[in-house]
């Protein structure tokens, strides 16, 4: 009787594992076709200067317009794309598209592009960035590359060499999601960052949570002393904005100003929020 139950449970696991594997396989099949089928789109979210109130940059955020599933969030496919090596061609598409879109924006506005660890693992990132810039005509100074600590965890020497070449080209480097995972302060010393993005999880409980406030204050101070811009992600309320201002944070990004929007709505959003004049 116990034996039979055990088997039953095993079969149940087998069946649900099978279903999970099939779901993954079908997602993988679709993902392999998505690029060729033109199913990827970039949405852009303004990043606002806290002192001037104007837009410094827009972050490119990838979406997958799946024929049956609808808009798929990057959280639901980037991990898989990394595992199966697809993030490299997808990332190259993102770079080309983001630079092409940004080249048509008013001159001071930069574009921020997220770059995955797998793109650093390959040898083609520097060439991909260079290609995207030359094809689009976007000046390198208007491109910001956002990397996470996962990039720095592996092969530090090679990563540093790549980042240095990207910096020499004139691009800016931002450390994304700072404060999560292993975020080590030594990264800030080793790698040539222009910007630290404070993870949204610290912003969510501002201004009420004393610990979160202290951390935001410390990171902003650190950024100031190291000559790096600090940017708060996920700003949703006016209270959060006020406390970020008080703590000396330099830039904010979040639903309070704008959700990520299609490129055709960017100029309207820039006009609504305001941008520095090119002159
Ligand atoms: P991230 O780079 O940290 O991007 C910020 C995320 O916060 C975005 O989620 C954005 O939509 C969301 N967000 C912005 N403002 C708010 C807010 O006020 N409240 C809340 N709750 N969320 C806000 P999204 O677009 O789902 O992207 C998730 C992650 O996927 C990104 O996190 C990034 O790590 C990754 N990702 C997105 N696009 C790309 C890409 O082109 N390449 C790579 N490698 N990764 C990407
Ligand atoms: Mg980012
Ligand atoms: Mg981030
Ligand atoms: Mg984040």
Confidence of residue 101 (pLDDT cuts 50, 70, 90): very high
What length does the chain have? 279
- Ligand 1, atom 5, residue with closest C-alpha: 233
d(CA 96, CA 94): 6
How, if at all, do strands 110-114 and 55-66 pair? parallel
Confidence of residue 122 (pLDDT cuts 50, 70, 90): confident
d(CA 276, CA 57): 11
d(CA 57, CA 55): 6
By most ligand atoms within 8 Å of CB, the mutation choice from 58, 101, 114 for ligand 1 is 114
Is residue 9 predicted with pLDDT exceeding 80? Answer: no
Task: From the CA of 199, give the closest atom in ligand 1.
Answer: 3
Confidence of residue 4 (pLDDT cuts 50, 70, 90): low
Confidence of residue 279 (pLDDT cuts 50, 70, 90): very low
Is residue 1 predicted with pLDDT exceeding 80? Answer: no
d(CA 266, CA 251): 18
Q: What is the ipTM of this complex?
A: 0.98
d(CA 276, CA 125): 31
Is residue 146 predicted with pLDDT exceeding 90? Answer: yes
How, if at all, do strands 261-262 and 40-49 pair? antiparallel
**3-class secondary structure, 216:** helix
**Stretch 186-190: mean pLDDT:** 87
By most ligand atoms within 8 Å of CB, the mutation choice from 74, 79, 237, 257 for ligand 1 is 74
Q: Which residues' Cβ are closer than 6 Å to ligand 1?
A: 45, 60-62, 73-75, 78, 91, 94, 114, 116, 146, 176-177, 200, 233-236, 254-255, 260
- Per residue in 156-183, pLDDT (tens digit) is 889 999 999 999 999 999 999 998 877 6
DSSP secondary structure of 125-156: HHHHHHHHHHHHT--GGGEEEEE-HHHHHS-H
**Stretch 246-260: mean pLDDT:** 96
Is residue 226 predicted with pLDDT exceeding 60? Answer: yes
C-alpha of residue 19 to centroid of ligand 4, in Å: 30
- Ligand 1, atom 37, residue with closest C-alpha: 61
- Per residue in 11-43, pLDDT (tens digit) is 666 777 788 888 888 889 999 999 999 999 999
Mean pLDDT of the chain: 91
Q: Looking at per-residue confidence, does 153 or 228 come out higher?
A: 228
Do 65 and 262 form a contact (C-beta atoms < 8 A)? Answer: no
According to the model, what pLDDT value does residue 51 have?
Answer: 92
Q: Looking at per-residue confidence, does 227 or 276 come out higher?
A: 227
Site of tokens 């990397």: 147
d(CA 246, CA 188): 23
Do 133 and 99 form a contact (C-beta atoms < 8 A)? Answer: yes
Distances (CA, A) of 18 to 25, 80, 84, 209: 10, 17, 19, 44
Answering whether pTM is above 0.90, one says yes
d(CA 31, CA 78): 10
Is residue 269 predicted with pLDDT exceeding 90? Answer: yes
According to the model, what pLDDT value does residue 5 have?
Answer: 60
Confidence of residue 278 (pLDDT cuts 50, 70, 90): very low
Neighbour-count burial of 56, counting CB atoms closer than 10 A to its CB (0-12 exposed, 13-18 middle, 19+ buried): buried
**Stretch 97-117: mean pLDDT:** 96
Do 131 and 170 form a contact (C-beta atoms < 8 A)? Answer: no
Selection from 148-162, 182-196, 228-242 with the highest mean pLDDT = 228-242
Confidence of residue 6 (pLDDT cuts 50, 70, 90): low
* Listed range (31-45, 175-189, 236-250) with the worst mean pLDDT: 175-189
CA of 116, nearest ligand number: 1
Q: Find how far residue 186's CA is from the centre of its chain.
A: 21
């Amino acid at each position: 009787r116990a034996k039979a139950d055990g088997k039953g449970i095993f079969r149940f696991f087998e069946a649900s594992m099978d279903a999970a594997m099939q779901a993954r396989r079908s997602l993988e099949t679709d993902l392999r076709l998505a690029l060729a089928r033109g199913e990827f789109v970039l949405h852009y979210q303004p990043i606002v200067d806290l002192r001037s109130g104007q837009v410094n940059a827009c972050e490119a955020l990838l979406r997958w317009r799946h024929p049956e599933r609808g808009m798929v969030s990057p959280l639901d496919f980037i991990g898989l794309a990394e595992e199966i090596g697809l993030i490299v061609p997808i990332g190259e598409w993102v770079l080309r598209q983001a630079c092409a879109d940004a080249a048509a924006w008013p001159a001071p506005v930069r574009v921020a592009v997220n770059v995955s660890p797998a793109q650093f693992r390959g040898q083609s990132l520097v060439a991909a960035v260079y290609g995207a810039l030359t094809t689009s005509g976007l000046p390198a100074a208007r491109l910001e590359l956002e990397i996470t600590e996962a990039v720095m965890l592996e092969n530090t020497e090679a990563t540093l060499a790549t980042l240095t070449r990207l910096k020499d080209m004139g691009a800016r480097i931002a450390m994304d999601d700072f404060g999560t995972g292993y975020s080590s302060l030594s990264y800030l010393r080793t790698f040539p960052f222009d910007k630290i993005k404070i993870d949204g999880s610290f912003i969510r409980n501002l201004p009420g949570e004393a610990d979160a406030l202290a951390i935001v204050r410390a990171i902003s101070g650190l950024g100031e002393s190291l000559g790096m811009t600090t940017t708060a992600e996920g700003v949703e309320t006016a209270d959060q904005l006020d406390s970020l201002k008080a703590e000396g944070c330099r830039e904010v990004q979040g639903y309070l100003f704008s959700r990520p929007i299609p490129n055709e709505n960017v100029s309207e959003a820039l006009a609504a929020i305001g941008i520095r004049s090119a002159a």
